[in-house]
Amino acid sequence: MDIEKLLQKDVQEFILEHKSVDIKELALKKLPFAEELRNDILQQIKSRQKALLKLPNWATRDEIIFPNSDLVEQSSSDITARYKSKIYPQSTYPTNLFIDLTAGLGSDALALSEVFTSGYCIEADPVHAACLEYNLKILSDKNIMITNGYAEDLIDKLPSADFIYIDPQRRIDTKKRGIYDLSQTLPNILELLPKLRDKSPCIMVKTSPFLDISEAIRQLGQVNQVHIVEADGQCKEVLYFIDAKAPKDAPLLTAAICESGQTYTAPLSQMQYNFDTFSAPLTYLYEPGPALMKSGLHQSYALKHDLKKIAPMTHLYTSAEEKKDYMGRTFKVIETLPVKKQALQSHLPDMKANITTRHFPMKPEDLRKKLGVKDGGDKTIFGGTLQNGEKALILCETI
């Protein structure tokens, strides 16, 4: 990628004029530029389109040069990056210097630059590093130094910092989509961690939601906080915060929804809370959101909000009175029915509904086929197991 050529006026005008077109159709046409620029221009348009909702701070700036679209897809969104920047305990520590050891596109570094006065960013890919250096000069007025290289090679040369952030690579080959062991990361966070502790009293490690939280805590050691971050209806990332000044108690877990700002915090011991208050579906039904589910705090949260559970292994909750602002989806129960098409027909004349299963012997698509229900509509059917062991359909409408 030649940044200088991409910044030429006619090239920029073409990119911005075509930023909303169908990239597949555009790729079939001849572009009015030299062939070596063709792929770079198409990549810029594709990356802008991917960034529009995820990275509005970047996509709405005309002069930004994007790295490849895969890096845009892998990067933190603006909203999750801002969440990370707020975890740092500013009242306890100074906010002078941060280090981002795996900078990538730079969305996390940009958010951190709003908190700290200066920063160091390490990026292994030379093209990505060049884009990052150029873009951060546009997006931030802070003194941020970009270095091309590997974190494990450069850590000894870096100054001490108030805060270190690292998002180790989670995919070590094309065949393995998720990893479950921190020793498999690039860089190897477990080997690097002792040096990080020497460099900074505050360290944040970002991992994929695939990683088991309890195992990650065991491997990292001395974790003080774990933040399970939800955005756009999905669990996006899990953050492990190591604070040298914090009490050496068991970690606190926080499930967070970025858009609403809702959070729920409880000790690690409540991850496997022994819930013992059950009920058949009442007037309202609650499905825990991704952050609550991944954190394992959905039972602790339900207890605090006086909810009852459908059954020990059926992670759905119920109440007679509506609980506002539940951290998940809320439904009004229409009827609880046996798993029979005939029983459903009188309550769902158009036989059209969304289907979800919880602790149920059939997948949603198989249950849909059995019931003869079309997808869509404003009703939801939960296939689940009740406390007495019976399988049932809980027909609901979304609130």
Q: Output the tens digit of pLDDT for each of the chain's 399 residues.
A: 888 899 999 999 999 999 989 989 998 888 888 888 999 999 999 999 999 989 999 999 989 999 888 899 999 999 999 999 999 999 889 999 999 999 999 999 999 999 999 999 999 999 999 999 999 999 999 999 999 999 999 999 999 999 999 999 865 553 455 456 788 888 999 999 999 999 999 999 999 898 999 999 999 998 999 999 999 999 999 999 999 988 888 899 999 999 999 999 999 999 877 788 999 999 999 999 999 999 999 999 999 999 999 999 999 999 999 999 999 999 999 999 999 999 999 999 999 999 999 999 999 999 999 999 999 999 999 999 999 999 999 999 999
Closest-CA residue to 348 (of 391, 383, 378): 378
pLDDT at position 169: 84
CA distance 114 to 131: 20
Closest-CA residue to 84 (of 98, 70, 72, 94): 98
pLDDT at position 173: 52
CB contact at 8 A, 278 and 316: no
Give me the residue label for tokens 């309890």. 214
Other beta carbons within 10 Å of 231? 21
Burial of 313 (0-12, 13-18, 19+ CB in 10 A): exposed
Q: Distances in Å between the alpha carbon of 48 and those of 16, 22, 60, 108, 317?
A: 9, 12, 9, 18, 41
Alpha helix segments (H runs only) across the chain: 3-6, 9-17, 23-27, 35-54, 56-59, 69-74, 78-87, 107-113, 126-139, 151-154, 189-199, 213-220, 290-295, 298-304, 341-345, 364-371
Residue 300 structure tokens: 């602790």
pLDDT at position 174: 39
Residue 149: strand, helix, or coil: coil
pTM of the model: 0.92
For β-strands 314-319 and 308-311, DSSP reports them as antiparallel
Give me the residue label for tokens 């769902």. 348
Closest-CA residue to 64 (of 75, 258, 226, 323): 75
Asked if the bond preceding 187 is cis, omega within 30° of 0, the reply is: yes
* Neighbouring residues of 314: CB distance < 8 A, sequence distance ≥ 6: 358, 359, 384, 385, 386
Residue 58: strand, helix, or coil: helix
Q: What is the DSSP letter of 374?
A: B
Domain boundaries in the chain? 3-63, 77-269, 284-398
Sign, Cα dihedral of 25, 28, 30, 34: positive
* Neighbouring residues of 175: CB distance < 8 A, sequence distance ≥ 6: none
Phi, psi of 265 (to 5 degrees): -120, 135
Give me the residue label for tokens 């007495």. 388
Q: Distances in Å between the alpha carbon of 2 and those of 10, 39, 80, 145?
A: 15, 11, 30, 21
Q: Which CATH number fits domain 77-269: 3.90.1310.10, 3.30.559.10, 3.40.980.10, 3.40.50.150?
A: 3.40.50.150
Residue 114 structure tokens: 């709003």
Residue 330 structure tokens: 């809320």
CA distance 228 to 209: 8
Give me the residue label for tokens 């990119």. 15
Sign, Cα dihedral of 267, 272, 278, 280: positive
CA distance 103 to 99: 9
* Neighbouring residues of 81: CB distance < 8 A, sequence distance ≥ 6: 107, 108, 110, 111
